[in-house]
Chains A and B, each alone.
Chain A
Amino acid sequence: MKNETLLYDDGVHKCVMFSLEDEEHHDYSLSVNQFLIIQHGSGVLIDPGSGAIFGELYDAVSRHIDPSKLKYIFFSHQDPDVAGAISEWSVSTTAQLIVSKLWTRFMGHYGLMDMGRIVALEDQGGRIKFGSDYLQFIPAHFLHSPGNFSLYDSRSKILFSGDIGAAVLSPQNLNKEVDNFEEHRPYLESFHGRYMAGNRFCRAWVKCVRVHEVEMIAPQHGSLFRKEFAAQFLSWFEEVEGGLEQCEALYGCKQ
């Protein structure tokens, strides 16, 4: 499996995907992805993962940019496979750490007491200027985390969707790219049916995403959705039924 994929490069702006898995997950092919955006010698790291992959990712990032030039590190949510290495990244860079305001009070548990390093995102998201372009933080709350965001890069038109779009064990994950949506669909269904809170949230997220022109969806687990597959994914995701719709089955008794 490739562990580095160039997603976009126009000579000024570059997006790279790393696929570094900690050993625990390797056998299960959880297919974890981390992302880096670079423009004019300034970088944004997205969902850098747990402490177990910190060293490997630090080296991988260093091949593209001096880590001291990382301006922001974005954590889509608080899970350990996303934010487990906050302490290491806070020591090794001077980057601002962007996370939902819901999780700032937990930063001490991740090894950081300096709130001056944190950019706390309001629930409705926000936008930051990055070089000549912008990064848009799109609310993705309860999909699955209650304080969760996707990140849209206006230059590459890539949507870094966090856990949305994750697929575990799909054969499509081998080349990190979906080229047969129907083959991939069962693996999407098993993950999203159990992890997403409910259809209303899925629809709300799709509505927010459709405001932007999306060329590619890059999830934190699994494979990339390019062009028509991205559109297919959005249409499919709109109909996803999550925890709310399966409440009775999940709890095993009539509610």
Chain B
Amino acid sequence: MKCLLNKKEQINALPKRIFDILSQYHEREGCMVESSTLKQLKVLLQSYALLYVEDNIGLNTQATALFKKIVDNVYSAHDGEEGLTLFTNHRPDIVITDFAMPRMDGLVMAEAILKINPDAKIIMTTGHDNLDVLHRALRIGIFDVLVKPLKIEHLIETLTRCSKMLKDEFHRRIFTSNLHTVFNHQNNQLLLLHAHNVVMANQPCLDFFGVSSIEVFRNRFASFGELLLEHNGFLYDNDETEWFEHIAHNPGKLFNVKIADCEDNWHHFILSYQTIPEKEGYGVLSLNDVSELHLLSLYDSSKVERERLAKDEKTVRGLLEMAMRSGAKIRVHNLYKGLSITNDGIVVKVEKREIVLKTSYVQLKGIQNEEDFYLTSELFPMAIHCTAIKRIDFEPQSVTFTHYKMVENSPTRRQAIRVVPDQDVRLTVFYEERMLEKDIVVLDISLKGIRFKLTALPPGFVLKKSVVLDLVLSTSLRPMMINTKAEVYRIDEKEHYYELVCTYELHGQAQKNMIDYVAKRQMVLIREFKGLQNEK
């Protein structure tokens, strides 16, 4: 777009032209300046202070009057020295200055100003296209250079750009200063690490270790690892643990750690570490103190003590509260006829005995069907079995329950997928070449073993005895026969029958058949389970 003031006009005539154009907001000299543009410029610049430095008295007077129309605080000077004094006293945000002036030229003044405030925006006007002046201006960090006679759209564009940059810088300053505030007023201890080493730490962290400054902290602890105390089941559980490797390769994951404060009291923290993208080697580490839940002994006690604690609802509630406070995602497990249904969940409320857990719709259906579920997390020493379901809300997708205990053995630890077979499965068990009873009920089956019922056991039938199993499995296509040796792994005596688990190692076609059967059975059970989802 061509929008020039008369190029041939002398500098003296220029401000009048601009003034006219800006004041009257209409076409002049073939140039249309939109009134909305000028209003916008006024809105953008009004709150800033501007210093105008020009040795030509007439020009200075008129241009100053012009700038006062769009900027609230305008200061004017007639040479570099006077300009620098005004800048030192009033610290304006924007400086518009001529280059050639008596006593101190525009560049020397600009250099001095930028030493006082590197963020000052200096626009220099020069009567000719002097490359040397341009290079020097660039080198010292001048915002822009405009060649006289000025084009109105260039001046508007430069001032608009200038105001936007000032606003961006202002926002960045607010953001940075508030980040600093947030950083220091977090209850969590926060540390900025470069590899193992602490670069920054917030105030609660410095207070915890009883040090006055980050420099003192760095002098005392060369690496963050020096702070970690060994504790069974925690991130740092022996002196060969590669703790940093572990957290660095699991960003966002939560870990239990034990750290002593400045008075040598042990604290239990939940640690999480997040790398900083595009700043290789840097990461933010946060520590959430959960010591008052008194869970340390749970991880480091004898088996008997652990069993006692596992039954203690208060202890388990402490674990769930720890998960809630650290915002930990925990795994929720259900089984539908052996089919494992697992999704993430978060504890959202711990109140007296009542716990509220949010999880997925599918998981809630699993809980509704089974009336119990298991919770696991790297933070927990064992799985937690949850019963006494008080309420399932499908709309906010949450479950409320009041009974929970830790269990050493849970279905969440299964090594192989076990499914309840279809009714057509046939099992025959041979022990010392004699067939055991007919019509054996198979409870579940996997690639590694089978669980079934017997009403009576033959004499001498004990654990680790060898048996031979003949198994006929039906898929939609054909019956499959599996004949294998197996070992008695478990015998549970129930009220009217025995429940046995036999394990085996399948090879070749038998192995393939079993994989095929369990995989297809999974699909059938998924369909069945999805059918349940449609039921109220």
Contact = CB atoms under 8 A, between A and B. Distances in A.
A129 B249 contact: yes
Contact of B518 (A91, A112, A113): A91
A111 B339 CA distance: 10
Contacts of A55: 512
Contact of B249 (A91, A116, A117, A128): A128
Given A58-B512, A92-B515, A87 B522 contact: yes
A79 B511 CA distance: 26
A113 B512 CA distance: 22
B515 A111 contact: no
A101 to B, nearest CB: 12
B522 A116 contact: no
B340 A113 contact: yes
Nearest to B246: A129
Given A55-B512, A92-B447, A108-B526, A113 B362 contact: yes
B342 A114 contact: yes
B266 to A, nearest CB: 31
A87 B516 CA distance: 9
A121 B261 CA distance: 38
Interface in B505-524: 511-512, 515-516, 518-520, 522-523
B515 A88 contact: yes
Interface string B303-342: 0000000000000000000000000000101001001111
Interface residues of B, number: 29
B212 interface: no
Given A113-B529, A115-B343, A87 B519 contact: yes
A24 B529 CA distance: 32
B353 interface: no
A118 B401 CA distance: 27
B533 to A, nearest CB: 10
Nearest to A127: B249
A131 to B, nearest CB: 12
A94 interface: yes
Contacts of A112: 522
> How many interface residues does chain A have, given as a range?
10 to 19
Interface in A45-97: 54-55, 58, 87-88, 90-92, 94
A114 B512 contact: no
A166 B339 CA distance: 37
A113 B519 contact: no
Contact of A91 (B343, B412, B515): B515
A196 to B, nearest CB: 27
B415 interface: yes
Nearest to B527: A108
Nearest to B333: A116
B447 A91 contact: yes
B284 interface: no
A95 to B, nearest CB: 12
A91 B516 CA distance: 9
Interface in A169-213: none
A113 B523 contact: no
A87 B340 contact: no
Nearest to B516: A88
B344 interface: yes
Nearest to B366: A113
Interface string B1-32: 00000000000000000000000000000000
Nearest to A86: B519
Interface string B412-435: 100111000000000000000000
A91 B519 contact: yes
Contacts of A116: 331, 333, 340, 342, 412
B518 A115 contact: no
Nearest to A54: B515
Contact of A90 (B343, B417, B530): B417
A111 B523 contact: yes
A88 B522 CA distance: 10
Contacts of B362: 108, 113
Contact of A114 (B341, B447, B515, B518): B341
Contacts of B341: 113-114
A108 B342 contact: no
Nearest to B513: A55
A91 B514 CA distance: 9
B249 to A, nearest CB: 5
Nearest to A88: B519
Contacts of A92: 447, 511, 515
Nearest to A116: B342
Contacts of A117: 342
A113 B339 contact: yes
Contacts of A54: 515
A111 B518 CA distance: 10
B87 to A, nearest CB: 46
Contacts of B412: 116
Interface in A202-237: none
Nearest to B344: A115
A113 B249 contact: no
Contacts of A115: 342-344
Given A91-B417, A108-B530, A114 B340 contact: yes
Interface in A104-158: 108, 111-117, 128-129
Contacts of B344: 115
Contacts of A87: 519-520, 522-523
Nearest to B417: A91
A167 B58 CA distance: 77
Contacts of B343: 115
Interface string B331-371: 10100100111111000000000000000001000000000
B342 A91 contact: no
Given A58-B512, A92-B515, A113-B336, 7 more contacts: A88-B519, A91-B416, A112-B522, A115-B344, A116-B342, A117-B342, A129-B245
Interface of B: 245, 249, 331, 333, 336, 339-344, 362, 412, 415-417, 447, 511-512, 515-516, 518-520, 522-523, 526, 529-530
14 contacts: A55-B512, A87-B519, A87-B522, A88-B516, A90-B522, A91-B447, A91-B519, A92-B447, A92-B515, A111-B519, A113-B362, A115-B343, A115-B344, A116-B412
Cβ-closest 4 pairs across A and B: A114-B340, A116-B342, A87-B519, A114-B342
